[in-house]
Chain A
């Protein structure tokens, strides 16, 4: 079974702090993703990475950055946390998809609930 592990289940940080959310997957997947989940908004893509050291902005990248130095680890960074970044953060990974192959599912971690006060 694929395992996607997020290092913290709950985090409480102060406004202006630098925050690191860590995600590790154990299946040698090329693609990794960070989403945030908010009531009524579903999941929104923040950033994704299709290979080591490669990253692409998702739909809501403002206020975030990412790091992918090793294939198994994808970190989400809040340079200066703000209260509107209070949310549930979900990491996911999947195997690389050839141009028309669309069958490989996302595998999600259990989420990190971040509160910024």
Chain B
């Protein structure tokens, strides 16, 4: 079956530091890959996505590249802000008639200090 593994958290950084959150996956077929973010007290929001190999998703300064050869979709940001403090989830959607089900990683808590 499908699975997603994220790096262990929590991650604590100072403002303007470089961020990497690792994500690897196992899936059959041609999955689409997503990063969702959950700010305190809120539901999840889509941050970025990539639907085929070598695609790069980007949004709000965050980037992730779909690497089929390493089955990875690592999230990066060059300079984090305090407002980026949140929980980040990597997810995949399998191909075929999956009705849009997503398989999520365990989530990584990011805290950014001024």
Query: A residues near B, CB below 8 A?
Result: 4, 31, 33, 35, 37, 40-45, 48, 50, 56, 58, 90, 92, 94, 96-97, 99-100, 102-106, 108-111
Contacts and interface: CB of A to CB of B under 8 A. Distances in A.
Interface residues of B, number: 28
A48 B99 contact: yes
List the 8 shortest-distance A-B pairs measured between CB atoms, nearest first. Answer: A108-B43, A102-B32, A42-B106, A105-B46, A43-B104, A42-B104, A108-B44, A50-B99
Contacts, number: 68
B99 A56 contact: yes
A44 B105 CA distance: 9
Interface of B: 4, 6, 32, 34, 36, 41-46, 49, 51, 89, 91, 93, 95-97, 99-107
A43 B41 contact: no
Contact of A99 (B41, B96, B101, B105): B96
